[in-house]
Chains A and B, each alone.
Chain A
Amino acid sequence: MIRLNNVGVSFRKENQKKIFGKERQQILVDVSMHVKEKECLGILGESGSGKSTMGRVICGLLKPDCGKVEVEKPISIVFQDYTTSANPRFTVKQIISESLIVRERRESIRLDREKEIRKLLELVGLSEEFSLRYPHELSGGQLQRVCIARAVALQPKIILFDESISSLDAYTQVQIMDLLKEIRKKYGLTYVFITHDLSSVTYFCDRVLFLYQGQIVETCEIAELGKVKDEYAKKLLNSVVNLR
């Protein structure tokens, strides 16, 4: 489904030593990974480890400096910051319609949009009356549900979650994760789940990938999480255990 081969990404540094300096900062170094069909892969790493950059490379928003990216389309995305992920001038109906329009064009079909939107809202546990509301009239959890409905409306093969539930409270997180599990089962989707929260990964994913300073340091199945060899991955695991 997704295959990255030796991908490298770098940005021009903001604070250059010379006036017209060309120093670059390496964000991703020689990243290779793959995701199988219907798998849920967690990408775990601390802030600044390059997880979001990797997400952008996967969904085609960022062209890597080198390496090969193969991603099966269509792909959809749910962002962390729900406050800016929906156009504040759109109603919920229009927000979801955008995905439906793209799907209509892709499959060259006509959809009964009203019906589709009703079905999608029901799927994410919102009532029909929400369809005429604006984003600022919804709570964070509700808006994130709308964003999920929008992502599902596209009927994608892959959905990328970029810290999608990190900014929600613990109870809503569990609710949303259960919802996502259900959707995945129903449509047979592939998930890529970017997060810094280990507990949500263990709750949710099949396989986890540790990212540290732009490099993949360890990949393992969730069941074998106790057997990680890499120092950084161990440290990350321990830090969670210690907190409890």
Chain B
Amino acid sequence: MAVLMLGIILGVIIAGIFAPVVAPHDPYKTDILNKFAGFSMSYPLGTDHLGRCILSRMIYGIRPTLFLSILTMTGTIFLGMIMGLLAGYFRGFVDEVIMRIVDVMLSFPSQIMVFAIVALLGVDIRNVILANVFIKWAWYARMIRTNVMKYRDKNYILYSKCIGNRERYILFRHLLPSISSELAVLATLDMGWAILNISTLSFLKLGVQPPTPEWGAMLNEAKNVMTTNPVQMIAPGLAIVILVAAFHFLGDALRDALDPKEAEYE
């Protein structure tokens, strides 16, 4: 299962990187006479309302969809990790301050906060990423803090403290590797969420702007011709579902693989 999912994800990433080679057409080239074309050898998924090749747009759309999601994921995980590590390891005052901020962040409805931030800073994909990181880090900080607390009373960390080793050594050589498996699971699950969120915002015309091909934006373009030319909508919709599901399944498989307790039951 994990291998299959990893295969799908890697395939998509490679297709995205080598888009100019893989895609049969230029994604921006309009051919108004040939709009809403059906399946054919030269247009495997047909054309959209401006006569652009849907498959090419899908393949080029991988770039913003996936790479912006990776950026968002890295940002959230990184911020969450730092905050979670600090709160979980130092406890006391630092923990109180960070966790109360987290509590406040978590009590906002996240989607609406993203809209609010984007509206405030202006419609731009950079603002979307910023807003997503800003909203989502709190959740990860809490998860990572719990994991850190599981390890901070282990004897090898007590030993380090006892002999007066540097905090930096304890945090980055002992604690961080210990929680890395949990981090990997969180990161894969977060990817799915980021893809969905960026596509949603693009669909609402708050994220990636047309004519740049992006799966969410393509869905938006397709909604007017939903009944007459359903392929234009089904293709990006299905792609999003498959990719997000692949990330979630991969996260699940990773958790099973990395959790020693799960392995015992097999």
Contacts and interface: CB of A to CB of B under 8 A. Distances in A.
Q: Do A and B come from one complex?
A: yes
Interface of A: 59-61, 73-77, 79, 81, 84-87, 89-90, 98-99, 101-102, 105-106, 150, 154, 156
A84 B161 contact: no
Given A89-B178, A101-B169, A74 B159 contact: no
Contact of B156 (A59, A86, A101, A154): A86
B165 A89 contact: no
Contact of A61 (B154, B162, B166): B162
Nearest to A87: B156
A74 B169 contact: no
Nearest to B155: A85
Contacts of A74: 163-164
B111 interface: no
Nearest to A153: B163
Given A75-B163, A84-B155, A87-B178, 16 more contacts: A60-B161, A61-B161, A61-B162, A76-B162, A77-B163, A79-B158, A84-B156, A85-B155, A85-B156, A85-B159, A87-B177, A89-B178, A102-B163, A106-B164, A150-B159, A154-B163
Contacts of A59: 162
A81 B158 CA distance: 12
A60 B166 CA distance: 15
B160 interface: yes
A75 B159 CA distance: 10
19 contacts: A61-B162, A73-B164, A76-B163, A77-B158, A79-B155, A79-B158, A79-B159, A81-B155, A84-B154, A84-B155, A85-B155, A85-B159, A87-B177, A87-B178, A99-B163, A101-B165, A101-B169, A150-B159, A154-B163
B25 interface: no
B174 interface: yes
Contact of B158 (A61, A89, A154): A61
A214 B31 CA distance: 87
Nearest to A103: B163
A76 B27 CA distance: 66
B258 to A, nearest CB: 13
Contacts of A102: 163-165
Nearest to B160: A98
B154 A77 contact: no
Interface in B143-179: 154-156, 158-166, 169, 174, 177-178
Given A84-B154, A87-B174, A89-B178, A77 B165 contact: no
Interface string B32-48: 00000000000000000
Contacts of A106: 164
Contacts of B161: 60-61
Contacts of A76: 162-163
A102 B168 CA distance: 12
A111 B161 CA distance: 22
- The 4 A-B residue pairs with the shortest CB-CB distance in the complex, in nearest-first order: A85-B155, A84-B155, A87-B156, A79-B155
B159 A77 contact: yes
